[in-house]
Structures are given as C-alpha cells and as structure tokens.
Amino acid sequence: MVPTEIKLMADKRSIDVYLKLLESGSEKKRDIRLVVVGKKGAGKTSLVRRLFGEDIKDVTSTNGIEIHKIKCKAMSDDGIWNKLDENYEETQTHARLFKEYMGKLQDKRTIKEPVEAHTAIKDNNPAISLNESEKSETVSKQPDIIKPPKAEPPVTPQQSNQSSEQAARDFETMLTAKSKVDVHDKEEYATFLLWDFAGDEEFYHTHQTFLSQDAMYLVVTKLNEADDPNAQALFRLWIDSIHCYSRLEEGNISSDKTTLCDNDPPVVIVGTWKDAVTSETDSKNIEIACRENLLKYTNELADDERGHLRCEYFISNKDDECIAFQQIRQNILNLARGMRTWNIDYPLKFIQLEQRLQEKKKDLPIISYQKIKNYSTDIPEPLSEEELILFLEFHHELRALVYFKDLSEYIILDTQWLSDAFRCIVTAQKFRINIRNQKEWNDFFQRGKLNNAVLEDIFKNETTILYEHKDFILKVMEKFDIIIHPNKSEDIDASPCYYVPCMIKEECPCDIYQMFNVPEDTRHRSTWLCFKFRFLPPHLKNHLIASLSRRYSIAQVCISNQKKMQIAIFHNIVVFELQKTKLRKLLVTTCPNAIQIQVLEFGKGIERGLFKDIADFVEMELKKIIHTRFNMSNVKFEKKWECGHTKPEFVTGINEFDGEQMTEYYYCETCKLTHKFMDEWSDLQRKSLCLPHCSNDAEQSNPHLETPSKKQRISTKVRCFFQGDMRAFSNVTDESTRTSSLNGLTKEEMNFAKMGMIVLNILADVLYDLLRSDKPHLPPRSDCDITYLYKELRRLNKDIPSNRWGGTWQNILVTDIAIGDDIERIRLIRNDLQHSRTFTLDDKRFNELYIIIVDLVKRFDLHNKPTKLYTEQLKVIMAKTVSEEEVKRINHQLINKLKLEMTMDIEIEQE
C-alpha cells in the first residue's frame, strides 16, 4: 500500500525531486553474466533447466546461443532463481527508480533541501566510465570514476519546457507502475544473464564475440568420456579461450583476492553424466572415480590457467536431487559477490535511456547510432555524448547490447538476435533442411565458401529486419574474422564471395608441392619459419589468415577432379600469392602449437634477407592480434626455423635463431646433408665491414671474398659500436644493397623513389615546421633529417602520442589523430623505407602509405600553416616522372641518412 503523502506529491515539487534524483543519484548494480560452455552432448541445456528447477523432458540441443535472465536474492542467498520474462525489464526499471524516489522522499531532508548526491556522484558526473585506452572491442575495462564531462551548450527555455513535460509524463508512468512494486521489500537482488552456448564445433569461432572479462563461466564436461582425446581437447579449448580472450589484465585484478593464485574470470567445472561413471563398490568410490576422470581433463592445463578454477561439481542431470543444484546456485552467487562488477555505482539518469531502448527493442533488435543519440537527448535529464558512450560501453561489457566503436553506425539492442544472425551463417548442418542450391551448400559445408547464392538462401528465409541489415551483420562477422573476404575470388568474372575459416573441412587433396609443381631444389623452398606457442590460442590461425588475405591474394590452383580453378585454402593449409607474376608464393600451415610459413620461389632463387619484410609482417600481425585486439598478455611465442625440405606435416621448428650460427653450415637431419643457412627471414648475420687499403681495389670492398695474398697477414677482429651517420662508410656501401641494374625501372622501383621523395622532403618539412614553433634557433633545414627532428620533438615531449613514443604500426589506430600520433606515423614510414633492402615498394603498400600521408598532411596544413601547402607539394611529386638517376639518388640519400647503432667487425691487419 502506497502511503497517502506519496499520492499528494505528484506536483511540480515532486517532479523537481524526481529530476534532482535523476541528475545526481546512483544505485548499486549487481548484474552478472554467467556463461555455460562445453562439448556437444555434455548436458549443458539440461543443467540450465535443473538450475531453474525445470523438467528436463524433451530437451533439444542449443542452436547458437540462448540467453536467459534470472533474479535472485543478493544477500539472504536462499538458493532460489526466478527466471524472468521479457516483460520484467520494463517493470524492473520503474521499480528501481521508484524505490530510490521513495527513499529520498521519506528522508526529511528531501523536503527542506535538494536531494543530496551519493558519495560516488560529484559535479553531475556519472559514477562509471570505461577506460578509453582499451583498444580491444571484444573485451573492455572495469568502469572507473571519470573526468568531468565537457561543458554542454546552455539549455534554451524551450528545451527546458520540453524536458519538464517529458519528466512529468515519465513521473506519471512511474507512479502508474507503482502497484507492481513492493516498496516494503528491502531485499537486495542480483540479476544473472545466463548464456547457454551451443556445443557444436561450428559455433566455437562465433563465441569469442560474446566472451568478456566480467563474466563467470560454467565449463561442462562429460565424466564418462575422460579417456577420449577429442573430449579432452575440447575441454582445453574452452579453458584456453576463457584464459586468452577474457583474462583480466594485471592492473585490473582486485587486491583483496582470497588467494594470490586466483585469476579472473572465475571458472566452475561441472562434470556431468556421473550416473555413467562405473565403480565396483559404493557411492564414495563413485566420487573418487569422478575426480580421477576430471584430473584427466585438467592434466595438461598450465598453472596460470588453473588459477581460474574455483570449484568443481559432479552431477547427474537425471538422478540427482534438487539440493545438488541448489548448492551450485549458492556457490555461484558467493563467487559473484567477489567480482569487481558487484555493487558498482550506476547513475540513475542512465535508467531513462534504458527505458526508451526497452520500448524500441520490442520492435527493433538493431538501431542506428543517430537514433539512440536522439533518444539520449530527448529525456528529462539528457546525456552528453560522452555519457552516451559510457552507457553503451558499460552495457556492451554485460552484452545487454552490442556496440563497437569502429562499427558504431548501428547498435544491436537484442544480443540474442545477433547470435541468431551468426547462427544462420555459421551453423551446424543438422539445423539446415530443405536446402536449395545444393552444390553451393556443399561447397559451404566442405570448403567454407560462402557465395551470394548461399547468402541469399540464408537471409531470405529469415526475418525482414535481418535481411535489411545483412551488410552490417557481415561487417561484424568480418571484424572478428568469423568470415574473410579474399582479395581474389576463384573466377575473375564471378561475384565476390566470403570464406568461413571455421567451416573449412576440406583437406589438401595431394602433396602441396606437387599441386603447385614446386622444384625440389633448395633454392626454391625457403627454410620454414615457425612461430611456436606453449599453446596456440583458439582461432588465432583464422585471425592471421584473415590478416594475410587482406594483404595478399590467395593463390588459385586447378584440382585434378574439377574443371574450375579454386583458391588454395584448405583445413590447415593456405597458399598466398606474393607477386603478380605468381613467381613467389607464401605457404601457411598450422599444427596444434605452432604456425609455420614458407616461401616458394619460382624465379631466380632465394637470397639472404629476401623475406624479412614477410616475416616482420606476420610477426607484427600476430602481436597485434594477441596484444592489441584481444589483450592476451599471457600468450607468448618464439621463432624457430627448420629445413625447407621438411614436409609441412612433419615440421617441428627444432632450430634456434642463434646469432653464432648465422653464417655457418649446418647438418640437416631431414635431408641427411649439409646446408648453408641462408637467413632469408631475418638477415641477422654479422656484417664484417673492412676499410679498404685502396679505394680502387674492388675485391677488398667485399670482406667475404677470398683472394690470394702476397704477404702474410695477422688479423684481429675488434667489436666497435657507432652511434651516428653512415656517411663515413658510404664509399664502401655504395649501392651494395642493389641486386639489379638500373637499365629500365620497374613500377615497384618508381613507387619506392616517389615515397622516398615524400619522406625526405615533405614529411621532414612537416616535422621541421612543427619543431620550429617551439625551438626557434634550429639548424638549417638542410642539416635536419627526420631522425634528428623526431628525437628533438620526443625530447620536447609536448605532443605526446595517444599510446607511447617509439611504438609500432599496430599501436596506432585509425582514430588516433593527435599530433604525436602523426609524428609516430612519419617515423614509421621513414623506417619502412630506410630498412628496406630491395628499394622497391609494391602498389598495395604504396597505396596504404599514400592514404596515411594524405590524411596526415591535411592535418598539418591546418596546424603548421606552411607557405606552400604540403598537400600541393604532394600532388607535384605524385605527378612527377621519375628518372633512373633520381632513383639512384633517393636510394643513396636514404642509406646515408640512416642513423643507428651499428655493431661492426673491423679487421686490423698487420704485415
């Protein structure tokens, strides 16, 4: 029964109190995600039903992901879970506001003075924020206290009136719903969002989209299959996935953990099918037998993975009494109380937007960012854009909605709808019936080829809203590399198609070398470069294949039993074209704990250091995937190598990259022969640099040539370090890195020369003009190169990059456009050229750098205000015809302007 005085407060004063509450009030949030994962047939869905106290008759396998909402008492812990329907959310939001309103209204201070803010709310700031330095879209940081939001434009009288009218309507709606609210119920409640993940292997690659740091995980496994290697592998896959994709970073781990070895997120293991575990004696021995079987699953786990494990249960979904499941429920709640998201302060003003979105969610599972922005301003206490982003990021972490900064065009309000959309494409075959386009569907299930005919079949059979937003769904799937879009389809005239790596079952039909007619000569097969992991994180190979497919075209091959060409992408092997001439290909293979690459050379042969840029790119992409996209700080790899004649399936990466053996011969266990290590991947060999006695003695310019000596020499090698310019040695190294003559320029050479002109002139001018504004007495421009200018700007430390000084390309996002970010871009572009050994630049990389430079110089045109715009200078260089002499001059300048610390062996000769 609502007190009489409350009914009398539905006036301006009450609405003012209501607005004040929205403005500065907060509540304690206790929303916990509980994710249930495990092998198909392990009994996950039955377990979920038993946890709800439901019957398990007619249980069917989960198709994709099923999401349930649960309400339970947060403190009294009676072990009862109430499953909530969709209508609960609307009632709940009114109840949350109404209870807070009642609490303030019954406080005598409410009548005499404005409502006091909670201690977590100051200066109108929301109590939560997400750390904006977090770059991964799959995982996000715990909310923190934020800086004061930027000042908003003053509110006009008209807007104020509209806000008051909206507040009055909302207030009346809240009072109307009060009959459903028990204001005398002082119990605190928790809400669990339970996600039941399908166990079919096809779904595993989509699940990474929904893993997060602030979830709890139930890993379900069949106790009676403990001796099955496949079951063991799938159990480890889930533990690996949770550990890699969801683990909290060191700085976010709570300091009040019960034990130092605990890692978040917490994992509870539930062993099912206890009734199928046999024992010769009593139930006590059944318990021992179950534990022994569980140890077979956990035997291969690493120590840091074991830190996630909190407890384990052995159950029979069919035979166990309800008390067994009540114990699981109670323990889950106890674990939830210790999580960092428990009792988080949440601004009440956010509830207004929640209410609006709940109304829209009934009709639209997906909404544009512009619409949601309009809703956020058309409420009694409007949200600033910064607050809106905080709202979206917080709810994205709970997966109450899905929001990606780099795909912010739409926000997905119904996560179940997104899961269903994924399921339509990456689906288990048993769910697909009445299939049209049989051949295309067979290609999809065997080769993972997703062409337009299959896509049309999928989307036209679904809802209109899904069909209308299929392009956005595909973008999300491509973002997470669930699907990839190769550079080249199998037929030149065919419509572009996607590939789904996790759906590819087709094995390579024959020896890969025979398929591409690779010569057996060692000059045509590089050594294997192996990236070895303690464990290879799930789906990492698919992420790498997606990265490579965006840079290179996948090779085409004619399969003997087929008439058409098809691209060379198989279950564990992919072949990429490195050149338009098709004379160089990249072979990528995977095994349980390693990714291996090899270059197949059909041209002049393999030379020292020839493939360093490929190795660097692959290593950079792996680090980007591991550290930037998914923050898998615990994942590490090491580089090894092996003889190029080793068959892909037998490569183990047994050899270290040891500097002492870079120029040595080695005995190959595979070939039973002696090979010379070419070091085509890294070119780490020590360079002996001899100062010639006579400048016209050509032979002495090469220290590796053996020449007859008329006099006996005693040689002593001295290790010297040089910090400075290479000009002193330019007479020795003049064009020594050139491997081809300048009789006619290739497109790649012209690209390199033009990019060199841009770097040496325009980009250096940019830094010089930038530094001159803060350091007037600079040396003449002709004496200042990018290395010097960068060092001075970094020392000045005025324009700090978004991440850090001296980072790599993967540290800079497209959205990072601060001056410091552009300084780093200039340094990296300069490095790309100066560290090149071939003085060539293919069209793809040239265009990538050119796009970066265009945006960069536009920003500096506005900031530096040069006499002649950098963009105009850029146009002049791009329109220029490059001569052979200019190519030679640019190459020479790049060599001579390279400042680095050099380790050199100088031979001191005595007669």
The predicted-structure confidence for 44-64, as pLDDT tens digits, reads as follows 888 888 888 887 777 777 767
Percent of the chain with pLDDT over 70: 74
For the cut 90, the answer to whether the pLDDT of residue 570 exceeds it is: no
Residue 663 marked ligand-binding: no
DSSP per-residue codes, 36-99: EEE-TTS-HHHHHHHHTT---TT-----SEEEEEEEEESSS-----EEE-TTHHHHHHHHHHHH
For the cut 80, the answer to whether the pLDDT of residue 671 exceeds it is: no
- Which one has a higher pLDDT value, 411 or 122? 411
Q: How confident is the model at residue 532 (pLDDT cuts 50, 70, 90)?
A: very high
Same fold, 29-87+189-246+262-344 and 528-676: no
Token duo for residue 224: 């009676």
Whole-number Å distance between alpha carbons of 67 and 54: 16
Whole-number Å distance between alpha carbons of 150 and 142: 22
Residue 278 marked ligand-binding: no
Report the pLDDT value the prediction gives residue 254, as an integer from 0 to 100: 45
pTM of the model: 0.62
- Which one has a higher pLDDT value, 906 or 362? 362
DSSP per-residue codes, 727-748: GGGHHHHTTTT--S--SS--HH
Q: How confident is the model at residue 5 (pLDDT cuts 50, 70, 90)?
A: very low
For the cut 50, the answer to whether the pLDDT of residue 823 exceeds it is: yes
For the cut 70, the answer to whether the pLDDT of residue 787 exceeds it is: yes
**Top-level class of domain 29-87+189-246+262-344:** alpha beta
Diameter of the chain measured on Cα atoms: 117
CATH number of the structural domain 528-676: 3.30.310.200
Residue 45 marked ligand-binding: yes
Indicate the range of 4-13, 227-236, 411-420, 442-451 predicted with least confidence.
Answer: 4-13
Mean pLDDT of 336-342: 86
User: What SS3 class is residue 409?
Assistant: coil
Contact 316, 274 (CB under 8 A): yes
Mean pLDDT of 9-19: 69
Residue ranges of domains in the chain: 29-87+189-246+262-344, 528-676, 727-880
Q: How confident is the model at residue 272 (pLDDT cuts 50, 70, 90)?
A: very high
DSSP per-residue codes, 820-878: HHHHHHHHHHHHHHHT-SS----HHHHHHHHHHHHHHHHHHHHHH--SS-HHHHHHHHH
Report the pLDDT value the prediction gives residue 253, as an integer from 0 to 100: 45
Percent of the chain with pLDDT over 90: 12
Taking all residues of the chain, what is their mean pLDDT, rounded to a whole number?
Answer: 75
User: What SS3 class is residue 597?
Assistant: strand
H/E segment holding residue 473:
helix 470-479
Indicate the range of 66-70, 90-94, 260-264, 725-729 predicted with least confidence.
Answer: 725-729
Mean pLDDT of 75-85: 76
For the cut 60, the answer to whether the pLDDT of residue 865 exceeds it is: yes
Side-chain-facing half-sphere of 667: CA atoms under 13 Å: 2
Report the pLDDT value the prediction gives residue 217, as an integer from 0 to 100: 93
Report the pLDDT value the prediction gives residue 176, as an integer from 0 to 100: 67
For the cut 80, the answer to whether the pLDDT of residue 32 exceeds it is: yes
Indicate the range of 16-20, 146-150, 582-586 predicted with least confidence.
Answer: 146-150
Report the pLDDT value the prediction gives residue 870, as an integer from 0 to 100: 92
Mean pLDDT of 837-850: 86
Whole-number Å distance between alpha carbons of 43 and 46: 5
Whole-number Å distance between alpha carbons of 707 and 482: 59
Residue 40 marked ligand-binding: yes
Residue 808 marked ligand-binding: no
For the cut 80, the answer to whether the pLDDT of residue 387 exceeds it is: yes
Report the pLDDT value the prediction gives residue 793, as an integer from 0 to 100: 92
Whole-number Å distance between alpha carbons of 652 and 635: 19
Question: Cα separations (Å) of 368 from 449, 465, 472?
Answer: 30, 13, 11
Q: For the packed helices 870-879 and 747-757, what is the interaxial angle rounded to 10 degrees? A: 160
The verdict on whether omega for the bond into residue 265 sits within 30 degrees of 0, i.e. cis, is yes
For the cut 90, the answer to whether the pLDDT of residue 86 exceeds it is: no
Residue 581 marked ligand-binding: no
Mean pLDDT of 291-314: 89
Task: Show the beta-strand stretches assigned E in 154-244.
Answer: 189-197, 215-222
Contact 458, 520 (CB under 8 A): no
Q: Which residues contact 275 (CB under 8 A, 6 or more apart)?
A: 316, 318, 319
Q: For the packed helices 44-51 and 322-337, what is the interaxial angle rounded to 10 degrees? A: 90
Mean pLDDT of 304-312: 88
Residue 62 marked ligand-binding: yes
For the cut 50, the answer to whether the pLDDT of residue 706 exceeds it is: no
Q: What is the pLDDT of residues 743-772, one digit of tens each?
A: 467 888 888 889 999 999 999 999 999 998
For the cut 90, the answer to whether the pLDDT of residue 822 exceeds it is: yes
Residue 42 marked ligand-binding: yes
CA angle 831, 835, 838 (to 5 degrees): 130
Most confident of 99-113, 177-191, 438-452, 756-770: 756-770
Report the pLDDT value the prediction gives residue 430, as an integer from 0 to 100: 55
Q: How confident is the model at residue 106 (pLDDT cuts 50, 70, 90)?
A: low
Whole-number Å distance between alpha carbons of 573 and 144: 45
Q: Which residues contact 799 (CB under 8 A, 6 or more apart)?
A: 770, 793, 818, 819, 820, 823
